[in-house]
Amino acid sequence: MFKINGEGYEIEQAYIDALLDEEEERLMFGVEISGKQADDRTLPSITSDTLLKTGKHEIRKWQDIAGRVVEWGKYSKNVRKPYARFYNYYKNTFRSNFIYNAKIEFKAIDSKIFIKVQGLCDSKFNGTEIKTLSLKIETEVVFGWISTGAHITEELARNKLNPYLDADNFDYSVSPLKLSNGSVDMGRFDLKNENNEYRIF
């Protein structure tokens, strides 16, 4: 359930993805949680590219993030620090702002991973600009993919992933990213025998 100031909204999708950050030598986990559109003023979502970081040999499968807790008070615009943004659709435009006084917990229940989000945000809701808008979410999350950056070779990509997660659990693929001056092949890992991307609850 996605609760905004106590009002509940159904969840459309919730997934975790990850990015290999070679500069920091970390695997950075992000999240996207989207609520179902309730009316022309409410289409809520929360996104983050940097929510949780793990170092080499800390975990072997993505489900090992269960038990981790991430907290912050004042939000930081430094995208290398944990953060999350709240988005809401209002009269054909999206309004967004950073979440603060946040607490995010990951837990395992019956072999599934759940995320619990609590925080505050200053944003327009139901046509009114509100400070300290209360956000509460608790939902199952699935795993999307791992971005590895510009394509190298599959062997090198697997060697880079292995210190962070067991690469044998993933399939590697390459897809073109269109740019203004052409395109570049980007590599990514997807869980084997899984089709969780954009899973509808």
Query: Which residues sit opposite 118 in a β-bridge?
Result: 103, 136
Q: What is the pLDDT of residues 101-156, one digit of tens each?
A: 999 999 999 989 999 999 999 987 777 788 899 999 999 999 999 998 888 899 99
- Alpha-carbon distance 31 to 115, whole Å? 10
Q: What per-residue confidence (pLDDT) applies to 199?
A: 41
Backbone angles phi, psi at 83, to 5 degrees: -160, 165
152 closest CA partner among 8, 14, 20: 20
How is residue 42 annotated by DSSP? B
Q: What is the pLDDT of residues 64-104, one digit of tens each?
A: 999 999 999 998 878 788 999 998 876 667 788 999 999 99
